[in-house]
Amino acid sequence: MSAARAIQVLRLLTACQESARSGGIPVMMDSATPGNYFAHPTATIDPGTLIGKGTKIWHYCHVSAGAVIGERCVLGQNVYVAPGVRIGNGVRIQNNVSVYEGVTLEDNVFCGPSCVFTNDKYPSAISDNRSNWKKTLVRKGATIGANATIVCGVTIGYNALVGAGAVVTKDVPDNAVVYGNPAREKGER
């Protein structure tokens, strides 16, 4: 078997594993075409990712196999994108943000520095809680401020604004402005 064929087989096996782990969701097999996006030399882009044209991935980022990132996105320093995550076009993710499995960011979402996404309301170091994981959806045009925490299982509405340091524990309506702990609606955009 040639080296190129062996790599293809490994990519296929990795895609099958990722699909099985995410409940049978199809996984893209081909990595993004190098040259269509920019990745800093310190970034790690796993095989089996799909990255759109014009996207920039900066220092010490890690994009996991099975992640899909749209066109013209910017991932700041030290961003982690988990397997199965879907990120739309024109998304800006500032430094030190981890986008965990189960999170979807639609087009033109802004994630401020060090904002936090979760995927398990009852995390445990001694048991596998994947069956408890909840999905989080951030709708088109939403903005999440620095150090905000988004508890899993919520939807942040279209064009909504989550203030810096907010703790979001329930759905945020379209165009709403929320802040505080827990985040409460304070107005509209």
- All structural domains of the chain with their residue ranges: 28-188
pTM above 0.95, yes or no: no
pLDDT tens digit sequence for 128-177: 888 889 999 999 999 999 999 999 999 999 999 999 999 999 999 999 99
How many C-beta atoms surround the C-beta of residue 83 within 10 A?
A: 22
Q: What is the mean pLDDT of the chain?
A: 90
Taking the C-alpha atoms of residue 70 and residue 181, their distance in angstroms, rounded to an integer, is 32
Per CATH, is 28-188 categorized as 2.160.10.10?
A: yes
Side by side, the strands of the sheet bearing 161-162 are: 38-39, 56-57, 74-75, 92-93, 110-111, 143-144, 161-162, 176-179, 184-188
In this structure, of 31-45, 109-123, 145-159, the range with the lowest mean pLDDT score is 31-45
